[in-house]
Chains A and B, each alone.
Chain A
Amino acid sequence: MKRFIGFVKKEFYHIFRDRRSLFILFGMPIAQIMLFGFAITNEINNVDIAVLDHSKDATTQEIINKISASKYFSIQQFIERETDIESVFKKGKVKAVLNFEKEFSKKLIKENTATIQIITDATDPNTANTISNFVNSILRNYQQELNKDIKITYQIVPQTRMIYNPELKSVFMFVPGVMTIILMLVSAMMTSISITREKEMGTMEILLVSPLKPFQVIIGKVVPYIFLSVINAIVIIVLSVFVLKMPVQGSLILLGLESVLFIINALSLGILISTISKTQQTAMMISLMGLMLPVIILSGFIFPISSMPLPLQVISNIIPAKWFIIILKGIMLKGVGISFIWKETLILVAMTLFFMGLSVKKYKIRLE
């Protein structure tokens, strides 16, 4: 046991004396959370639009007021001619133009229909979609107000309710993803690098010719990083709750335990990587390419898994990050307990045991 503590102490010296790695270790999570939280967002807010009002009557005025009153849009300018539509888009000043037809009120009353054209700049398809949805819903509301006194015989009224994230805040989607990426990278990359560094420096040779047992070396390498990753996880959760207003509906203890499970999973992956790579550089490349890309692309963090082609959907099952994101979203947004996420937890446990078993088996007690 004294040997083991001595080894762990040595690992902490390595970590704290390597200022640059330490900076990455703690700087990266903060920078990433802030970036994803504030800069990268697919919400719309105060989108500039232009209005081409051919009728200028009471009804159009009312609709325009309603739209400009919402926080999503700000009317940037009024244009007078159809030909101006193209030019305002080309100048890039507005993202959408609302085009009211002539004699809007009159038609609405006499013919019961009037048309409004919504033209959006679809160079950014997501934004364009969101804009048209929002305008549509404002118009629908207005229509219901108009029809309030009239009895329509058959009517289907869809009532949409977005639950768990009613305001569709993108932060809610990014935080679990970013937390997963950071924990995966920090844990797996740092451990694999620290083990291969011993190989590269030749100190592994001396460690092998010593009474230290393989599992003591491995656990000794892992313990400091479990400690650091837990601190990282805490920093991320605190930041997202207090700065990004991310809710944690479920139990904090469960969240903590699941995070520790995922950290150990990532660490055992890191050890596995170190057993197959000889240099720090290979270890880093494998960690970055082999872990980062699947975590970003296949975990359902950015692209929904259900819309992937079937082979990729199957592959996504072996990505631990996928299961951890499901767990995180469950606890943080839905507030579920272990009874709803035991399956995902079990999968992570099984994966961890598999990686650990494989690494201990692959760990060489000799040089070749």
Chain B
Amino acid sequence: MSILIKHISKSFKDIIALKDVSFEVNKGELFGLIGPDGAGKTTLFRILTTLLIADKGKATIANFDAIADYKKIRNSVGYMPGKFSLYPDLTVEENLEFFATIFGTTIEENYNLIEDIYIQIEPFKKRRAGKLSGGMKQKLALCCALIHKPKVLFLDEPTTGVDPVSRKEFWEMLKRLQKKDITILVSTPYMDEAALCDRIALIQYGEILEIDSPQNIVKHFPKKLYNVSANKMYELIESLKNYEHQYSVYPFGEFVHYTDQRDHFNPKELQQYLETNNLKNITIETTNPTIEDTFMELAK
């Protein structure tokens, strides 16, 4: 077991940041912590990286206790905070060298670990880190967090503020790192990234809603889900929200995801209702719930 979290609670003054959080992450697993801003992800990361002490509960990382063995944990984990936390006035190379030195290693020693990533930013190695683009910064930060070959890697919202292409590349890198036997705990507010994890935990208001693989987590969706579309989007949403039997209505791309309160729901009825509301080109089809639908449903 790489990460073991048991009944962790933490509050700041009168704000409850984490409420009885428990889960475990297996060795070599890519585990996602999915939740909106303010859900308590960063607080949990800080407790696991020994930066904060939980009010209640116990956590072990790589079999070290988060409080008693904090020094050992600091030697064996890599941490990439949500905010860009490198030295902007140092060059790419100097940053990497600095982090290698303070962890008592050299760039050469673990170069194979970061090679895939570093090769992309190497052309800019003489550039100051503050002048890199968002995606480059994150790649450099990942290199710095990896340079000492950590057993467990903590990545707090690594792709926030990064363009879609770089995001995709970033996740491909994580997949490759996983094969090198590094346990990765990553948090993200993006649901599409959740699908790339081995297992995910949905978190909101400091509470874990559900833990499962991305494929299975959608099975926790309790209702039948319909894709509804019509010629006028705004009127469609308004009409659906006013429909007496509606259970949930969320816009989803060009469709509206709709669920009904009744167990025996007849789409024809809904179609008639919408037609009386002057909507045309109405389509109603069943669809599979996504992680986002599941999250919205569980967070209700």
Q: Contact residues of A with B, CB < 8 Å?
A: 2-3, 5-7, 9-10, 13-14, 17-18, 201-203, 205-212, 365-368
Any chain A CB within 8 A of the CB of B84? yes
Instruction: List the 5 shortest-distance A-B pairs measured between CB atoms, nearest first.
Output: A6-B101, A202-B85, A202-B83, A367-B51, A209-B79
How long is the Cα–Cα vector from A367 to B53 in the complex, in angstroms? 9
Chain B residues closer than 8 Å to A202, beta-carbon distance: 81, 83-85
Chain B residues closer than 8 Å to A13, beta-carbon distance: 87, 89-90, 94
Chain A residues closer than 8 Å to B89, beta-carbon distance: 13-14, 17-18
The minimal Cβ–Cβ distance linking A276 to chain B, given in whole angstroms, is 19
How long is the Cα–Cα vector from A212 to B87 in the complex, in angstroms? 17
Chain B residues closer than 8 Å to A205, beta-carbon distance: 51, 79, 81, 85
Contact of B52 among A7, A17, A212, A366 (CB under 8 A): A366
Any chain A CB within 8 A of the CB of B205? no
Chain B residues closer than 8 Å to A366, beta-carbon distance: 50-53
Chain A residues closer than 8 Å to B103, beta-carbon distance: 3, 210-211
How long is the Cα–Cα vector from A368 to B86 in the complex, in angstroms? 21
Chain A residues closer than 8 Å to B232, beta-carbon distance: none
The reply to whether A2 and B104 form a contact with Cβ atoms under 8 Å apart is yes
Q: Could you give 30 example pairs across A and B, Cβ below 8 Å?
A: A2-B104, A3-B101, A3-B102, A3-B104, A6-B98, A6-B102, A7-B98, A7-B101, A9-B98, A10-B90, A13-B87, A14-B87, A17-B89, A201-B85, A201-B87, A202-B85, A203-B85, A206-B85, A208-B50, A209-B49, A209-B51, A209-B77, A210-B74, A210-B99, A210-B103, A211-B102, A366-B50, A366-B51, A367-B46, A367-B51
Q: Contact residues of B with A, CB < 8 Å?
A: 46, 49-53, 70-71, 74-75, 77, 79, 81, 83-90, 94, 97-99, 101-104, 144
The reply to whether B101 and A2 form a contact with Cβ atoms under 8 Å apart is yes
Chain B residues closer than 8 Å to A211, beta-carbon distance: 71, 74-75, 102-104
The minimal Cβ–Cβ distance linking B148 to chain A, given in whole angstroms, is 9
The minimal Cβ–Cβ distance linking A181 to chain B, given in whole angstroms, is 28
Chain B residues closer than 8 Å to A206, beta-carbon distance: 79, 81, 85-86, 99, 144
How long is the Cα–Cα vector from A9 to B51 in the complex, in angstroms? 26
20 further A-B pairs in the complex, CB-CB below 8 A; given A208-B50, A212-B102? A3-B104, A6-B101, A9-B98, A10-B87, A14-B89, A202-B85, A206-B79, A206-B81, A206-B85, A206-B144, A207-B102, A208-B74, A209-B51, A209-B79, A210-B102, A211-B75, A211-B103, A366-B53, A367-B46, A368-B52
The minimal Cβ–Cβ distance linking A5 to chain B, given in whole angstroms, is 8
How long is the Cα–Cα vector from A6 to B71 in the complex, in angstroms? 20
The reply to whether A203 and B94 form a contact with Cβ atoms under 8 Å apart is no
Chain A residues closer than 8 Å to B87, beta-carbon distance: 10, 13-14, 201, 203
Chain B residues closer than 8 Å to A201, beta-carbon distance: 85, 87-88
